[in-house]
A and B are shown apart, each in its own frame.
Chain A
Amino acid sequence: MAQNKIGKQTLHFPSTPIITSWASVVGPMEGKGPLGEKYDLVLTDTLAGEKTWEKAEQKMMQFSIELALEKRNLLPKDLDFYLAGDLLNQITCANFTARFLNTPFLGLYGACSTFAEGLCMAGVLLEGGFAEKVGVSASSHHDTAEKQFRTPTELGDQRPMTAQWTVTGSASIIIEKTGTGIILTHATIGKIIDLGNSNAQDLGSAMAPAAFDTLKTHFEDLGRNENDYDLIVTGDLGLLGHGILKELLKEKGISPDRFNDCGIMVYSPDQDTHCGGSGCGCSGVVLTAHLIERLLSGYYHRILFIGTGALLSPLTSLQGETIPCIAHAVVLESRGE
Chain B
Amino acid sequence: MIAQNVLLNEQEMTKWLNELQKEHQKVLFWEAQAKGEERKKFAGLRQEIERQQQRIARPQQIDYQSTAIKLVPPQTVIKNVIMAFLVGGSICLIGQIIYNLFTQSGLGLKDAAAATSSFLVFLGALFTALGYYDELGKVAGAGSIVPITGFANSIVSSALEFKREGYIYGVGARLFTVAGPILVYGTMVSILVGLVYYFVR
Report yes or no: A51 in contact with B68, Cβ–Cβ below 8 A. no
Q: Which of B22-30, B45-53, B95-103, B134-142 contacts A (4 or more CB under 8 A)?
A: B134-142
Please give, as numbers and ranges, the residues of chain A lying within 8 Å of B157 by CB-CB distance.
151-156
The one of A158, A209, A248, A274 in contact with B137, judged by C-beta atoms closer than 8 angstroms, is A158
Is A71 interfacial (CB-CB < 8 Å)?
no
- 10 A-B Cβ contacts within 8 A? A147-B161, A156-B140, A156-B145, A156-B150, A157-B141, A158-B137, A162-B73, A196-B61, A205-B68, A239-B73
Asked if B80 is at the interface of the complex by the 8 Å CB criterion, the answer is: yes
Contact A196 B137 (CB under 8 A): no
Known: A195-B60, A195-B64. A157 touches B137 (CB 8 A): yes
Q: Are B72 and A162 in contact (CB under 8 A)?
A: yes
The answer to whether the Cβ of A275 comes within 8 Å of any Cβ in the partner chain is yes
A154 engages B65 (CB within 8 Å): no
What residues of chain B lie closer than 8 Å to A51, measured between beta carbons? 164
Closest chain-B Cβ to A150's Cβ sits at a distance in Å of 11
Given contacts A52-B164, A154-B156, A196-B61, contact A160 B134 (CB under 8 A): no
User: Quick one: which of A307-332 are within 8 Å of B by CB?
Assistant: none
A residues less than 8 Å from B153 (CB atoms):
154-156
Q: Check A152–B161 contact: CB distance below 8 A.
A: yes
The docked-state distance in angstroms from the alpha carbon of A244 to that of B153 is 36
Is the CB of A202 closer than 8 A to any CB of chain B? yes
Are the C-beta atoms of B164 and A244 separated by less than 8 Å?
no
Name B99-152 residues within 8 Å CB distance of A: 128, 131, 133-134, 136-138, 140-141, 144-145, 150
Main secondary structure of the interface of A (DSSP, over half): loop
Check if B74 sits within 8 Å of A161, measured CB to CB: yes
The answer to the question of A19 belonging to the interface, with a C-beta cut-off of 8 Å to chain B, is: no
Q: Is B71 an interface residue (CB 8 A)?
A: yes
A243 at the interface (CB under 8 A from B): yes
Q: Does A285 contact B (CB under 8 A)?
A: no
Instruction: Give A324 Cβ to nearest chain B Cβ, in Å.
Output: 12
Residue of A nearest to B71 (CB): A243
CB-CB < 8 A to A162: which residues of B?
Answer: 72-73
At the interface, yes or no: B9 with Cβ under 8 Å from chain A? no
16 new A-B contacts at CB < 8 Å, known A153-B157, A161-B74, A195-B61: A52-B164, A152-B157, A152-B160, A154-B133, A154-B153, A154-B161, A155-B158, A156-B134, A156-B140, A161-B72, A161-B76, A195-B60, A196-B62, A197-B68, A247-B71, A274-B73
